[in-house]
Amino acid sequence: MDGLRVINIDRGDVGQRLDLVLQRHLRHVTAASRTRIQKWIEGGLVAVNQIPATRPSRRTAAGDIVSIAVPAAATRAVMAAEELRLEVIYEDDHLLAIDKPAGMVVHPTYRHPRGTLMNALLWRARDWPADTRPSLVGRLDRLTSGVVIAAKSRTMHAALQRVLSSPRSEKQYLAVVYGRVNVARGTLEAHLSRSRRKRRTVVTDAVSGSHSQTLFERLRRIKASPIGAALLCCRLLTGRTHQIRVHLASRGWPIVGDSKYGEPLWAKIDDVELAGVLREFPRQALHAWRISFSHPVTGQSVTCEAPPPGDFQKLLVDAKLQR
């Protein structure tokens, strides 16, 4: 289904977001999901009146001529099932929850084709009924540990997406941050989008970014003079990429060990021993510790918790941030 497509903007499309217009007109193209269309726009494959469009949120006007160079469908490599250790927190006939260790990639990529959470899940599913197959509902960064939910069928995947995006579900994270957190709790809000210069990085973008919201509660803090440090519990109200990391950094509370959105503030701490503890932590100090939701089939409340792993617990003890 690759090739050039041309769309004339009529009255029904006027004022609509470009990505939504394309999604409607390309609904017969299998590969044209909204996420894929947004990537086409950001990658320069879409032009409006022969001028490349780079923002999915661009509004269309009457008479606009939109051209899309739909790329050829790439041959998708078959994911291999691998016998890897999985820490299963919860499982029933419809879904399961995994405690993902830091360092494990959740889904195969060009850089990480094997050894991922999905490879391990496929091995676990090798004896499942023919109409079932694992799929992840939400993801964690490679260096973030904690709870990940997987569905056992397409129907359950769609149902879990609806349930987990509902305000009635809860996703809570623990984070160790630099900075003087002088409030006991609060709300962090920002519009977030992919950086145009660094595609793997998320930035605040009040013009075309997507709204995001995180609740936080301070659990413990230490002086760590003159910088300060604290243990926070963060609850996601939206699920944007890198949301907690960007929210905390933009508030002046970067996560310890986060080289993408933070900086090595341990170097400014007067306490040499504490500075060493924070310096040696090998990853971002972020752990997805609790997810609770209403089961899509039974309606019963399900809570999945993953205690902080050894490296995180050691950080809390050595930095005197135990809960």
Residues labelled as active-site residues: 141
Strand, coil or helix: 247: helix
Query: What is the signed CA dihedral for 93, 293, 98, 185, rounded to 10 degrees?
Result: 180
Please answer whether residues 255 and 265 qualify as being in contact, where contact means their C-beta atoms are separated by less than 8 angstroms.
no
38-52: buried (b, 16+ CB within 10 Å) or exposed (e) per residue? Answer: bbbbbeebbbbeeee
Cα–Cα distance measured from residue 98 to residue 84, given in angstroms and rounded to the nearest whole number = 13
Please answer whether residues 179 and 231 qualify as being in contact, where contact means their C-beta atoms are separated by less than 8 angstroms.
no
Beta bridge partners of 193: 203
Strand, coil or helix: 188: strand
Cα–Cα distance measured from residue 149 to residue 165, given in angstroms and rounded to the nearest whole number = 13
SS in 3 state form for 65-125?
A: EEEEEECCCCCCCCCCCCCCCCCEEEECCCEEEEEECCCCCCCCCCCCCCCCHHHHHHHHH
CA angle, 35 as apex, 30 and 38 as ends, to 5°? Answer: 105
Cα–Cα distance measured from residue 28 to residue 41, given in angstroms and rounded to the nearest whole number = 18
Closest CA relative to residue 278, chosen from 234, 227, 318 = 318
80: tokens are 């291999």
Please answer whether residues 307 and 314 qualify as being in contact, where contact means their C-beta atoms are separated by less than 8 angstroms.
no
Cα–Cα distance measured from residue 87 to residue 101, given in angstroms and rounded to the nearest whole number = 9
